[in-house]
Amino acid sequence: MVQPSKTKSGSPPSDAPVSGRAWLMLALATVGFAVNFWAWALLSPLGPRFQDSLDLTSFEQSLLVAVPVVVGSLGRIPVGALTDRFGGRLMFPAVSLATVVPVLYLGLIGHSSLTALLIGGFFLGIGGTAFAVGVPFVSAWFPPERRGLAIGVFGAGMGGTAISALTTVKLADASSMETPFLITAAGLAVYAVAAVLLMRDAPGRTVPSEPLVRRLAGTMKLGITWQASGLYAVAFGGYVAFSVYLPTYLKTGYGLTQADAANRMAGFVLLAVAMRPMGGWLSDRLGPVRVLAGSLAVVVAGALVQSFTPPLAPVGTVAFLAMAAALGAGSGATFALVAQLTPAGQVGSVTGIVGAAGGLGGFLPPLVMGSLYGVYGTYAAGLVLLAIVSAAALAYTLTGVRAAAEGDKPRPHT
């Protein structure tokens, strides 16, 4: 079993040596995560355009951008377990090549109707499973004292959504609707080849021998599985929800142009991405519970402020950027907790379930926001709900999660 690092008690971590090969593997995994997330997020920036061209309702547009999220989330459960068994060297190129197919479909023939878009979006969700490949792959290369930072750096690959936000609309405007999809497909293919040639699984990697179903059943009995799932559903779920719905929110709530809204969403994403490694680094030194508590408190405050729809400059901008930083740091801290408390041979399985919870946490808010806006003509109620959920997660962090991290109760559920 992986022993918790000394950081649980707040003492400085040891300077455990890390090989150059480990840092190279981390870089390759991070690039793979970014490229797959770039593909996973292709539909979000184009949501307002599809709404206009296909005459979609607010709920239909929300469903369009949410489908890849839920598929990518649920798919992490089997992909994480398969990574425990077969390793990241095989799974990274496999996931990347599988994602090429829906990307090409959407770019070439799948954007002419809502049904076609939903079919393509369903399979586009494969790209979102890359997260469950990278966490166990990276974790195996680093000692416990460095895993918070390493997994935080890997998590910065979620910035692939920012690449999509910054380039998709511009490429479609400058050339054609097919262009951003063709470029992304090429990026996925190039990365898959590079991964086959350069990636290696960590020496001495723990390979489970139990059948998949039995391993998943054992994972469901671990306390860390459920604790981290709840926290990640709020932290990463909030990030995903904003990254896919913020362009629509800003366009509808503040009258911004599609391009301006996409650029502001990219700023939100970039800050969250930058703060994810910081959340892991701080967790190595202060403990993940403290970092999570601080992050969730900021989200509560930011959501309450934004529920009043204040002027975008400066109050709204500050509220959104504060939430972006907190959600990024909280996501990094959650997986620092996973790395500390999860047995080595089950990191992939736990990551799959926790990652699924995070993605599902991002699936519901866009649907709720779209539905509430359709009924009330305001997003206030949705943001108040975010504040309430974050406050509940904060209370749980300071009670149940803190007790588990300090060893005051057994990890497995009974």
pTM exceeds 0.85: no
Query: Which pLDDT band, with edges at 50, 70 and 90, does 411 fall under?
Result: very low
| Per-residue confidence (pLDDT) for residue 16, from 0 to 100 | 57
Mean pLDDT on 60-83: 86
Give 59's pLDDT tier (boundaries 50, 70, 90).
confident
Q: 3-class SS at 312?
A: helix
pLDDT digits (tens, 9 = 90+) for 32-49: 999 999 999 898 888 888
Taking the C-alpha atoms of residue 93 and residue 100, their distance in angstroms, rounded to an integer, is: 11
In a domain, 188, yes or no: yes
Q: Is residue 262 pLDDT above 50, yes or no?
A: yes
Mean pLDDT along residues 62-75 = 84
Number of domains in the chain: 1
pLDDT of residue 142: 87
Rounded to an integer, what distance in angstroms lies between the CA atom of residue 181 and that of residue 56?
Answer: 22
Q: Please write the tens of the pLDDT for every residue from 317-344.
A: 999 999 999 999 999 999 888 878 877 7
Q: Is the pLDDT of residue 243 over 90?
A: no
Q: Is residue 211 part of a domain?
A: yes
Assigned domain for 249 exists: yes
pLDDT band at 12 (very low <50, low <70, confident <90, very high): very low
- 250: domain CATH number? 1.20.1250.20
Segment 18-29 shows an average pLDDT of 91
Please report, rounded to a whole number, the percentage of residues in the chain having pLDDT higher than 70. 94
The predicted model gives 67-96 an average pLDDT of 90
* Assigned domain for 334 exists: yes
Q: How far apart are CA 174 and CA 159, in angstroms?
A: 23
pLDDT at 15: 54
The pLDDT tens digits for 165-196 are: 788 988 988 988 899 999 999 999 999 999 99
Separation CA 121–CA 115 (nearest Å): 10
Question: What is the overall mean pLDDT for the chain?
Answer: 85
Is it the case that residue 403 has pLDDT exceeding 70? Answer: yes
pLDDT at 14 over 70: no
pLDDT at 75 over 60: yes
Residues 204-231 pLDDT 10s = 877 777 777 887 888 888 888 999 999 9
Helices (H), ranges, 18-177: 20-40, 47-54, 58-74, 76-86, 88-108, 114-124, 130-141, 147-155, 160-174
Is position 8 within any domain? no
Domain hosting 51: range is: 20-405
Whether residue 282 lies inside any domain: the answer is: yes
pLDDT of amino acid 112? 84
Locate tokens 């797959």: which residue? 36
**pLDDT confidence of residue 34:** 95
Start-to-end Cα distance in the chain: 19
11 inside domain: no
Q: Is the pLDDT of residue 2 over 80?
A: no
Nearby residues of 173 by Cβ (< 8 Å), 6 or more positions away: none
pLDDT band at 98 (very low <50, low <70, confident <90, very high): very high
In 3D, which of 320, 299, 300 has the Cα closest to residue 309? 320
**pLDDT value for 10:** 37
pLDDT at 238: 87
Residues 357-393: tens digit of each pLDDT: 887 887 778 778 778 887 877 888 888 988 999 999 9
Domain membership flag for residue 91: yes
